[in-house]
Chains A and B, each alone.
Chain A
Amino acid sequence: MTELGSAPVPAPSPEDHIAGPVDAPLVIEYADFECPYCAAQHLRLSRLRLRRVFRHFPVRSSHPRAWAAACAAEAAALQDRFWEMHELLFSDQGRLEDPHLWERARELGLDLERFETDRRSDAVRDRVRRDFQSGVRAGVVTTPSLFHDGRLYAGQLDAAALLAVSAGGSA
């Protein structure tokens, strides 16, 4: 049985998707590719010098294609194209149906057959679910949510929080 009781947010591990300079301020993001606030926050964060850890937090009742998009990103990760797919998903949230996902996979030069098998596999679903569950345990209740310097920022960061995060300190 899965344990979903309270637990601290897991530290970054080799299992995670991590981007940015090692010495930059660290942020751990919980986000959903169908969430417009997540796309907006992604744009803002991409202008800052940060080390970003991305974790999935798809909620299907509000975003019916969130799981499909998360699994597509994981399938791309299996062909070493996670961040490219991450960018393509956030840049066009109105198009997340299957043919749109295939189009992105083609654009990235992925092995389409493998992409298709992977994104529907239990392993990929479990991978997304693990992220979601670690978020639940750490008290994530909405997207986007971001952990920085031991603090949880729920929802979009305001100007003061953005400043604090990019400076590597607490607000």
Chain B
Amino acid sequence: MISPGEQAPEFTLRREDGNAFTPEDLQGKTTVLVFYPFAFSPVCTDQFNLYEEVLDDLKARGATLYGVSCDATWSQKAFREKLGVTIEQLSDFEPKGEACRAFGVYHPGGFPQRALVIIGPDGVVKWGYEAEVPTELPGANLIFDGLAAAGGG
């Protein structure tokens, strides 16, 4: 996967409103990308429920968190609404997995590895974490460790 110190790659993800999410959207703020295998799979469910509970703390650190998967926008939206979470979802549906490949987190099985990437306001990758197996759920503490390592606090 992409290493700290590297510039975020060129990519285009799709927001829920249909607009594009590109490296331009990373400028001027700290971004946490949460790559996850599939909408509605059990571990992702726990993962977003947990992260939702610490969103205020992330905001206090000036960080914005997004979920990224290869699911279609409609599936992501249904997933988010079912969980009752507000975390915005970004879709890597077409061309499938292109952004995930650019970040080096695309699993040969056709889905994103479960991974966390923190990108600084300058568009440079500050920190990354990849789960050893897709069923591992990275704790919210890791995000805060990453933000501290990124110099965000």
A15 at the interface (CB under 8 A from B): no
Docked CA distance A2–B148 (Å): 12
**Chain A contacts of B85 at CB under 8 A?**
61
**Nearest Cβ on chain B to A140's Cβ, whole angstroms:** 7
Q: Which residues from A are CB-within-8-Å of B16?
A: none
Interface assignment of B95: CB less than 8 Å from any CB of chain A = no
Q: B144 at interface (Cβ–Cβ under 8 A)? A: yes
**Contacting residues, chain A, for B60 (C-beta < 8 A):** 1-2
Inter-chain contact A61/B83, CB cutoff 8 Å: yes
**B144 adjacent to A142 (CB under 8 Å):** no
Binds A, one of B20-28, B44-52, B67-75: B44-52
* A6 sits at the interface (CB 8 A): yes
Contact A61 to B153, CB < 8 A, known contacts A3-B144, A136-B140: no
Please indicate the chain A residues that have their CB under 8 angstroms from the CB of B137 in the complex: 141-142
Residues in B53-77 with C-beta less than 8 Å from chain A: 53-54, 57, 60-61
Interfacial chain A residues near B46, Cβ < 8 Å: 62, 141-142
B-side contacts of A62, CB under 8 Å: 45-46, 49, 83-84
* Closest Cβ neighbor of B60 among chain A residues: A1
Task: Contacts A61-B85, A141-B47 given; indicate if A4 touches B53 (C-beta within 8 A).
Answer: no
Docked-complex contact B61 and A6, CB < 8 angstroms: no
- State in angstroms the CA–CA spacing of A4 and B60 once bound together: 12
How many residues does chain A have at the interface if contact means C-beta atoms less than 8 Å apart?
A: 20
| Nearest chain A CB to B128 CB, angstrom units | 16
Asked whether B145 is an interface residue with its Cβ less than 8 Å from the other chain, the reply is yes
For A139, the chain B residues whose CB sits under 8 A away are 139, 141
A125-154 residues with Cβ-Cβ distance < 8 A to B are 132, 136-142
Neighbouring A residues of B144 by C-beta, 8 Å:
3-6
A61-B52, A62-B49 are contacts. A137–B141 as well, Cβ < 8 Å? yes
Q: Does A60 contact B (CB under 8 A)?
A: yes
Min CB gap B108→A, angstroms: 26
The answer to whether A136 and B148 touch (CB under 8 A), given A4-B141, A61-B83, A141-B137, is: no
**Closest partner residue, chain B, to A67 (CB atom):** B53
Does residue B102 face the partner (Cβ distance < 8 Å to A)? no
Once bound together, how far apart are the Cα atoms of A142 and B137, in whole Å?
9
- A78 located at the interface, meaning its Cβ lies under 8 Å from any Cβ of chain B in the complex: no
Q: How far is it, in angstroms, between the C-alpha of A138 and the C-alpha of B141 when the chains are bound?
A: 7
Set of chain A residues within 8 Å of B54, measured between Cβ atoms: 4, 136
Question: Of B50, B85, B144, which is in contact with the most chain A CB atoms at under 10 Å from its CB?
Answer: B50
Given known A-B contacts A61-B85, A136-B54, A5 and B141 have beta carbons under 8 A apart:
yes
Interface residues in A49-66 by Cβ distance below 8 A to B read 59-62, 64
A141 CB contact (under 8 Å) in B52, B139, B145, B148: B139
Additional A-B contact list (8), CB under 8 Å, known A4-B144, A5-B145, A137-B141: A1-B153, A3-B144, A4-B141, A62-B46, A62-B83, A62-B84, A138-B141, A141-B47
Of all A-B residue pairs in the complex, the 5 with the closest CB atoms, nearest first, are A4-B144, A61-B84, A5-B144, A139-B139, A6-B141
